[in-house]
Amino acid sequence: MGDVTYATMAKLSSLALENKCTIEFYDKKKYFILRKIDDPDNWCWIASTHDGTKIKQVRTISLSEWERVISDYSKMLNNKEMK
């Protein structure tokens, strides 16, 4: 079994920016949202692709899953703009 690489908040911010989004973490309630940079009212909760539960900590999922989640959710936000 290989080592799991975890993300940092700085890495998540960088991934979000690559997808023209920002990522925000609300510590008090323990949730993340992804928000379009050019349309801040266009946002979504970030949930696990495995079971649909909200991700509550950076280290809840691996870096590779974060990459997939941010990519998938940013695509969803882009599609929302078109509707």
| pLDDT (tens digit per residue) in 35-80 | 999 999 999 999 987 788 899 999 989 999 999 999 999 999 988 7
Residue 83 has pLDDT above 80, yes or no: no
Asked if the structure places residue 2 within a domain, the reply is: no
- Provide the domain count of the chain: 1
Mean pLDDT of 1-28: 92
Tell whether 51 is covered by a domain.
yes
Domain of 73 in residue numbering reads as: 9-82
Residue 3 lies in a domain: no
Does residue 46 form part of some domain?
yes
| 77 in a structural domain | yes
DSSP string, 14-64: HHHHHTTEEEEEETTTTEEEEEESS-TT-EEE-B-TTT-PBP-SGGGS-HH
pTM of the entire structure?
A: 0.86
